[in-house]
Amino acid sequence: MAGAVVGCALWVTQLEASLARSAYATGYVLYGAVVFLAAYQLRKKLPGLPLGKSRSWLQAHLVVAIASGALFYAHIGGRWPSGVVEGSLALLYAGAFASGVLGFYLTRTIPKQLARTGEQFIFEQIPRLRSSVQRDARTVVVDAVHATGATTLADFYADRLHGFFRRPRALRYTLRPTTTARRRLFNELTSVDRFLTEPERSAAERLFQLVRRKDDLDFHAARQGVLKAWLFGHIGLTWALLVVGAAHGVMALAFRGGPTL
Amino acid sequence: MLEVARPRPERWDKPLDVAMTSRTVDRLLGVPPFAAMDPAVFPRATPLREILRNDTRVRQYQPGEIVVREGDYGSSALLVLDGQVRATLESLPPATLGRTPKRRGAQLARAIAQLLQRPSAPEVRAPKAAAFSPTHPGAGVFVQDLPAVLDANRTALLGPGELFGEQAAITRSPHTATVFAETACVLLEIRWQGLRDLMQSTPALRRHVDELYRKNHLDGHLRNTPLLAALDEAAFARVKESVTFASYGSFDWSETAKLDAASDPLERLRREPIVVEEGEPVDAVLLVRGGVGRLASELGEGRRTIAYLGKGRTLGVEELILAAERGEPAVWRRTLSAVGRLDAIAIPPAVFLAEVAPTVPESQRLRWRERSRYDDAVYQPSPGAAPARTLDFLVDRRLVNGTQSMVIDLDRCTRCDDCLRACAATHDGNPRFTREGLLHDQLQFAQACMHCVDPVCMIGCPTGAIHRDEETGVVRINDNTCVGCSTCANSCPYSAIKMVEIREPTGAIVIDQATGQPLLRATKCDLCADQPTGPACQHACPHDALVRIDLTTPTQLAAWSQH
């Protein structure tokens, strides 16, 4: 990666030394680099064709992305553009680049967090599994009431657990998941244990498991959701960058004066 | 239209040869070994006459034409009816056997076509299925430069009444020899389902097949054993003469595999048939010829797995040689139990010490002496292997059967599902695995066909639709001959085969016109054998988190886990 940046810097220095209009040359190469970066998504759509392994593409994607950063800096001449189109374009590039860096961080940290849960979940199945956990929790409590006639656990469920099982977690949890709710519910469930009949205690044990499972489901939904949202955003920014970049190129060529190199 | 009715396929809907006539069957019943068979002992569902009519076919070969090739997987045995065939006792070069590299262009064209012609509905099948030949897919292949082959190689002549190819067919292993027609000859091809039924009802045939192993395959197996490589011909013959065969466990081990996986670990160990027991006298050197064995050391109330042994591995050599050096009686240092099934060849200790021990190099003996000084070595896997608890897991779950297991490193997997999408894109929009499965530490063993070394899914297939690819060894399902009976899916201990409801190109679900139930087909991973890229799942993983790996040896997984 360092080699790619140094290579770009040397090339731009050479251009400057030759008194050429380096903005056109760096613009062409920069746009080419962005097209190459976007082509990775196209490669993913053609998995059966011998276009190289995806992991090789990702490595190349990272190297070219870093090099494009150096090119971008050279292209804007070290100062932020003031025009509306150029400013928007620079913002789009910066956004795509920053989202790429964020993605690099997320894809290297979130998998380890997800792997720590005892069970692994497929993102698309999580809503169904949540419903199943909620149904199981309700059944456990209702069965305990039928078995003993006591409503201590049922009251506790209605008061403290029903909302937890029924709803997905808040956006705050999605951005920064914690085990606070799980620990709090475990503590409350433990403290109510002394008031329970024997069948209710068995039901409470089962509720412990279901709370843990619901929390794991929420955790997977949040973390996997972040990864999917990130990719969606990164691709969206790239497409916008391609379109606005093309428009910028057309305008730059249309309104050029004198030699283009 | 949501549904369309079709007749439910049956076992003998697609006989091996539609041209097989009653007259031919009558004639076959008059020649050995069928003449000696009693039709009355065959079950009503599989009478001898119907086996011959549906599971056999008569084939003619020209002189020099290859009947079976060494290294190819076969699903049929062949009986010489007329003429002579010659079996090579030495390996021939690929060019001599007419092996040519696969054309990449054709694969590429197929891959492009698949991308362009993706059906709108899942599991679409063409209304008419093509015929299928499990053993002889194309035009005849002839041995190149036949006189030179005969001059340079040792061969054996087989005449009328002799059977060959049976071991490959019934043990689901590749052919160990090439057989070609010596003269113009007529052979009877018996697909393995038919051979299995014939053997079940005819003990004499079963004994004959066992004897054929001793006569035709034992020599090759022993010659391919590195331990015996330094023996001269006389010593080799004495060893060969002395060996006995032993089998442990069940050939149909898949029936109890799911139960075993769910049972208590100690109970599971207790159920595994013991082959040799730690502390007992060494009564033979064992050469594993099939199946898998768990090598374990006593630890506390149970046993810890320190290795597993597959085909070609040996046991008892170290114990016998070191004990002989010390002048002590040899005892087993570890316990070997059969994981499912284990077939072994046993060399008596006296013969081993007299004929084989003197050929063991001093450098090897030195290593064993060094190792024997450290008792810890008994309790730990060898360097480079996975840790003991991982070995325990792999053996307990019978994952050691997989030659192309899909393993996902969850510490790297971003759950992007590129693997699944790639799989679907290369299989007409139908993914052939699920990203779920057994978990061990950060590793997930996905529910994808492992292309087992012992593919038990093939045991019960009534039509031979599930078979090994002759070139690659990949276990595949021929959709045209699958009758949707679910036997393979039920047999697979890893739940890697899925039964799917099929549809016509219009999207209509195909139902059985007799029962109104949907018609099913078995589907599973085919390792993208027709794709120019190989397994699309592995090719598509951006983070190197998914790998197809051979678990029959423990070192590959250990190496990959540390990558």
Average pLDDT over residues A66-95: 92
How far apart, in whole angstroms, are the C-alpha atoms of residue B330 and residue B322? Answer: 8
Check residues A257 and A153 and name the one with the higher pLDDT. A153
Residues from chain B that touch A114, judged by Cβ atoms under 8 A, are 410, 415
B483: pLDDT strictly greater than 70: yes
Task: Tell me which fold the domain B392-561 belongs to.
Answer: Alpha-Beta Plaits (3.30.70)
A207: pLDDT strictly greater than 50: yes
**DSSP 3-state helix, strand, coil percentages of chain B (rounded to 5)?**
35, 25, 45
Tell me the ipTM for this assembly.
Answer: 0.88
Least confident of B38-47, B114-123, B178-187, B440-449: B114-123
E strand or H helix at A13: helix A2-17
Q: What is the pLDDT of residue A164?
A: 94
Q: How many helices (H) and strands (E) does chain B have?
A: 20, 24
B317: pLDDT strictly greater than 80: yes
Q: What is the pLDDT of residue A124?
A: 95
How far apart, in whole angstroms, are the C-alpha atoms of residue A55 and residue A16? Answer: 36
How far apart, in whole angstroms, are the C-alpha atoms of residue B286 and residue B398? Answer: 21
Work out the percent of chain B whose per-residue pLDDT is above 90: 35
Tell me which residues of chain B, numbers 464 to 523, contact chain A at a CB-CB cutoff of 8 Å.
Answer: none
Q: Which residues pair with B298 in a beta bridge?
A: B303
Closest CA to A154 of A165, A145, A164, A163: A145
DSSP B501-520: E-B-TTSPEEEETTT-PBPE
Q: What is the pLDDT of residue A209?
A: 96
Return the SS3 of B17: coil
Nearest CA in chain A to B428: A48
Q: What is the pLDDT of residue B527?
A: 95
Residues from chain B that touch A54, judged by Cβ atoms under 8 A, are 418, 539-542
Check residues A144 and B192 and name the one with the higher pLDDT. A144
B421: pLDDT strictly greater than 60: yes
E strand or H helix at B212: helix B203-212
Q: What is the pLDDT of residue B178?
A: 87
How far apart, in whole angstroms, are the C-alpha atoms of residue A133 and residue A93? Answer: 44
Return the SS3 of B305: strand
Average pLDDT over residues B282-299: 90
Pairing of strands B185-191, B76-82: antiparallel
Tell me which residues of chain B, numbers 400 to 429, contact chain A at a CB-CB cutoff of 8 Å.
Answer: 410-416, 418, 421-422, 425-426
Q: What is the pLDDT of residue B129?
A: 47
B226-385 and B392-561 agree in CATH topology: no
pLDDT tens string B433-453: 999 999 999 999 999 999 998
- Between the CA of residue B148 and those of B94, B143, B234, B273, B558, what are the distances in Å? 15, 10, 28, 49, 46
Residues from chain A that touch B115, judged by Cβ atoms under 8 A, are 46, 48-49
Nearest CA in chain A to B544: A55
Check residues A135 and B99 and name the one with the higher pLDDT. A135
Confidence band of B290 (pLDDT split at 50, 70, 90): confident
Confidence band of A233 (pLDDT split at 50, 70, 90): very high
- Judge: B533–A122 Cβ closer than 8 Å, yes or no: no
pLDDT tens string B101-160: 556 667 778 778 777 777 778 888 876 543 333 434 445 677 777 777 777 777 888 888
Within an 8 Å CB–CB cutoff, is residue B541 touching chain A? yes
Q: CB-CB: which of A49, A55, A123 is closest to B543?
A: A55
How far apart, in whole angstroms, are the C-alpha atoms of residue A26 and residue A10? Answer: 12
pLDDT tens string B470-482: 678 899 998 888 8
Residues of A with CB under 8 A from a CB of B: 44-50, 53-55, 57-58, 107, 110-112, 114-115, 119-120, 122-123, 224, 227, 231
Q: What is the pLDDT of residue B137?
A: 41
Q: What is the pLDDT of residue A117?
A: 92
Task: Tell me which fold the domain B9-220 belongs to.
Answer: Jelly Rolls (2.60.120)
Which CATH superfamily groups domain B226-385?
Jelly Rolls (2.60.120.10)
Cβ distance B480 to B132 under 8 Å? yes
Q: CB-CB: which of B108, B422, B543 is closest to A47?
A: B422
Distance from CA of A209 to the nearest CA of B (A): 19
How far apart, in whole angstroms, are the C-alpha atoms of residue B286 and residue A33? Answer: 62
- Judge: A122–B545 Cβ closer than 8 Å, yes or no: no
Q: What is the pLDDT of residue B138?
A: 45
Residues from chain A that touch B540, judged by Cβ atoms under 8 A, are 44, 47, 54
Q: What is the pLDDT of residue B135?
A: 38
Q: What is the pLDDT of residue B548?
A: 96
Residues from chain A that touch B116, judged by Cβ atoms under 8 A, are none
Residues from chain A that touch B444, judged by Cβ atoms under 8 A, are 120
Q: CB-CB: which of A44, A111, A120 is closest to B412?
A: A111
Q: Which ranges of B457-553 does DSSP label H, i.e. alpha helix?
A: 487-491, 536-540
Return the structure tokens found at A86. Answer: 């150029």
What is the residue-averaged pLDDT of chain B? 84
Confidence band of B261 (pLDDT split at 50, 70, 90): low
Q: CB-CB: which of A45, A54, A115 is closest to B411?
A: A115
> Any idea where the domains of chain B sit in the sequence?
9-220, 226-385, 392-561
